[in-house]
Chains A and B, each alone.
Chain A
Amino acid sequence: MWYALLVLLYAPLAVVVVYSFNSVNSSADFVGVSLRWYRALFADDTILAAAWNSAVLALVSSMLATAIGTALGYGMYAHRARRLGWLIWLIYLPIIMPDIVYGIAQLSFFSRLAAATQIFDLGLGTMIIAHVSFQAPFVALLVYSRLVGLDPRLFDACSDLYANAWQRARFFILPTLQPAIVAGFFLALTLSIDDFVISYFTSGPESVTLPIFIWSAIKRGISPEINAIATLMIGTVLAAAAITLAFQYVRHRQSGE
């Protein structure tokens, strides 16, 4: 039963990876191993531009989301005892909202904003804002769960040992949160690379990313080049996920104090 499930999960991915190395343009016959489609990929300017857009979008949005999410997570912890503290949990709305609804909402919001201000034209800028808005809650959740797992006396110990607010953040809070922050960054990176729906609605003509390129290319049929792109994306996301897990592991070890 479990094996059947694994096959169901991994067989389609395996097909993509295997056929990306096919030496002929066929999705039926596997003739020989070749890097021909990868070479074609790196010679195609449209694909390279889309890859560049994806990379810029993923890196910039993840860095912003990590900074904002860390601050949010700390804020949720610091204000958790307040009467209206629960309001901050509203930031989790993007997590449970269907992507399609969220994407449409972002599109209509940014269109109106663009019409009113003339500066929020749909493009990489609006995509970054949209991505940050759904990445930040995930980072905040990681940071928050690290903080609630700490002995609250640790904060007292900092003050007791002469640390002012700045020193407390620099020498205690940030180093203690580091594993959660790094894990949050790589999680944000994976989410951004993965995302198609929200990107699609908030992108402009000049900001095609890899998922959007694949979607438009696939209308003309699945080419081996698409398999090659997909394989590279699988590799990137797996690497980011592995790093996230590695830092989560460190986090668990440290909280065993």
Chain B
Amino acid sequence: MTQPSSPTVSPDTADNTPRADTAIRLRGLYQAFGADAVALAGVDLDIPAGSFFTLLGPSGCGKTSLLRVIAGLDTPDAGTLHIGARDVTRVAAHKRNVNTVFQSYALFGHLDVAGNIGFGLRMHGHDRATINDRVQKTAAFIQIDNLLGRRIDQLSGGQRQRVALARALVNEPDVLLLDEPLSALDAGLRSRLQLELLRIQRRLGMTFVFVTHDQDEAMVMSDYVAVLNEGRIEQVGTPATLYERPANPFVARFMGHANLFAIRARDATGLTTDFGRLAGEFARADHVLIRPEIMTIHAADAPEVASAGDNVIHGRVRERLYRGSRMEYTVAAGETELVVVDDNRGQGMFEIGAGVALVMETTGVVTLDG
């Protein structure tokens, strides 16, 4: 595991008092279900108060396990967990001021919408007038006040999602946990609710911890993203950091980078890789990452190619995908292939098999270890 470079992670274990601006602090969290099923393999993480924080990773990476430990639904085998200044590692779920929006929403079928939203307040022993008042206000804030008398089986997917959100928010938790809350919705509704969730988080200034396996969703919504893999944190940072400066090949691939190549040799004037030579000064590293956007594609005999200088890769078009606003080409070069995108400005498409040249800006090339 690479040491995370972001300021949001400070695994200096000597410092045991959480900072005032830290909403959640995890140290050495370990959890296993039997010897072969390690869900959390030592997680250190500081989640800044008031941030939209995303746990991102493939299925089985431990992100949901981590969320359940924060909620108190599972107890870790080792490690500590602070919410605010309080050590809640051994505190039962129902005594934590944390609420969860579940992936399946988990709404109570025997209660109507108002009964669902007011459930937490009722368990807390608030009087009926207070409960009604706060349920009303929250429902109005989420724009579901017209649904309060409905039964749960009369609601659409998007409406259920909003009810689940209101049921959690009405309790004014220190932290709101969201376990892939949008994954059951269709694409259009999903992107609308992404914006809405983000707006709600900004208006309340509440700490949101959001779990997803979708890197696009993570990038659009988050202040910070922690990428998890096999129960460990691979990297923590802003979406821009993760995309532009991935700490290792796993993060790079998970963020959707196809052009990741092992460096074979390095000298004062450049690098040698599978697709050929890359001129310039590069730091010592194991891999080089060339994002599709830093390359432009041209016909092999185009005038831009002649004036481009050193960093031109010659190859042949192997595959092309028409995506409307852009074209995506897979180009065979040297012993490997590169993916490049070309904005659709009406210039037409290269045929499969056509000889092309890729011109790149070396300032955008990233080197990384691992």
Enumerate chain A residues within 8 angstroms of B119, measured Cβ to Cβ: 161, 163, 171
* B106 pairs with A154, CB closer than 8 A: yes
Enumerate chain B residues within 8 angstroms of A151, measured Cβ to Cβ: 104, 106
Residue of A whose beta carbon sits closest to that of B173: A160
* A160 pairs with B108, CB closer than 8 A: no
The answer for the CA separation of A254 and B110 in the assembled complex, in Å, is 7
* A256 pairs with B102, CB closer than 8 A: no
* A161 pairs with B120, CB closer than 8 A: yes
* A161 pairs with B171, CB closer than 8 A: yes
Can you list, as one digit per residue, whether each of B98-125 has a CB less than 8 Å from chain A (1) or not (0)? 1110111011111100000001101110
Q: Are A175 and B110 CB-contacts (below 8 A) given A163-B94, A257-B153?
A: yes
A26 at the interface (CB under 8 A from B): no
A120 at the interface (CB under 8 A from B): no
* B73 pairs with A257, CB closer than 8 A: no
Smallest beta-carbon distance B173→chain A, Å: 9
B27 at the interface (CB under 8 A from A): no
Interface size band for B: 20 to 34
* B73 pairs with A256, CB closer than 8 A: no
* B100 pairs with A156, CB closer than 8 A: yes
Enumerate chain B residues within 8 angstroms of A255, measured Cβ to Cβ: 109
* B102 pairs with A254, CB closer than 8 A: no
Smallest beta-carbon distance A167→chain B, Å: 5
* B153 pairs with A253, CB closer than 8 A: yes
The answer for the CA separation of A136 and B107 in the assembled complex, in Å, is 30
* A160 pairs with B110, CB closer than 8 A: no
The answer for the CA separation of A173 and B106 in the assembled complex, in Å, is 14
Q: Which of A171, A178, A257 has the most CB of B within 10 A?
A: A257
* A256 pairs with B123, CB closer than 8 A: no
B72 at the interface (CB under 8 A from A): yes
> In the complex, how many residue pairs between chain A and chain B have their CB atoms under 8 Å apart?
75
Residue of B whose beta carbon sits closest to that of A165: B94
A216 at the interface (CB under 8 A from B): no
Residue of A whose beta carbon sits closest to that of B103: A153
B352 at the interface (CB under 8 A from A): no
A159 at the interface (CB under 8 A from B): yes
Enumerate chain A residues within 8 angstroms of B68, measured Cβ to Cβ: 156
Residue of B whose beta carbon sits closest to that of A160: B100
Can you list, as one digit per residue, whether each of A224-257 has a CB less than 8 Å from chain B (1) or not (0)? 0000000000000000000000000000011111
Enumerate chain A residues within 8 angstroms of B100, measured Cβ to Cβ: 156-157, 160
Enumerate chain A residues within 8 angstroms of B95, measured Cβ to Cβ: 162
* B99 pairs with A161, CB closer than 8 A: yes
B32 at the interface (CB under 8 A from A): no
A111 at the interface (CB under 8 A from B): no
Q: Contacting B106 at CB < 8 Å: which of A153, A163, A178, A253?
A: A153
Residue of B whose beta carbon sits closest to that of A256: B153
Q: Contacting B109 at CB < 8 Å: which of A153, A159, A160, A254?
A: A254
Residue of A whose beta carbon sits closest to that of B93: A159
* B71 pairs with A154, CB closer than 8 A: no
* A153 pairs with B102, CB closer than 8 A: yes
Interface residues of A in 139-176 (CB under 8 A from B): 151, 153-154, 156-164, 167, 171-172, 175-176
Residue of B whose beta carbon sits closest to that of A156: B73
The answer for the CA separation of A178 and B108 in the assembled complex, in Å, is 14
* A162 pairs with B109, CB closer than 8 A: no
Residue of B whose beta carbon sits closest to that of A255: B109
The answer for the CA separation of A151 and B102 in the assembled complex, in Å, is 11
The answer for the CA separation of A219 and B179 in the assembled complex, in Å, is 70
* B73 pairs with A160, CB closer than 8 A: yes
Residue of A whose beta carbon sits closest to that of B151: A257
B152 at the interface (CB under 8 A from A): yes
B167 at the interface (CB under 8 A from A): yes
Residue of B whose beta carbon sits closest to that of A161: B120
Enumerate chain B residues within 8 angstroms of A256, measured Cβ to Cβ: 153
In the A-B complex, list the 5 residue pairs whose CB atoms are closest, starting with the nearest.
A257-B109, A161-B120, A153-B106, A159-B93, A157-B106
With A161-B167, A175-B111, A254-B110 given, can you name 17 additional A-B contacts, CB distance below 8 Å?
A151-B104, A156-B106, A157-B102, A159-B73, A160-B73, A160-B94, A161-B99, A162-B94, A162-B120, A163-B119, A164-B123, A172-B108, A172-B110, A178-B110, A255-B109, A256-B153, A257-B109
Residues on B lying within 8 angstroms of A by beta carbon are 68, 71-73, 92-95, 98-100, 102-104, 106-111, 119-120, 122-124, 152-153, 167-168, 171
12 contacts between A and B (CB under 8 A): A151-B106, A153-B103, A156-B71, A160-B94, A160-B98, A160-B100, A161-B99, A161-B167, A161-B171, A162-B123, A163-B119, A164-B123
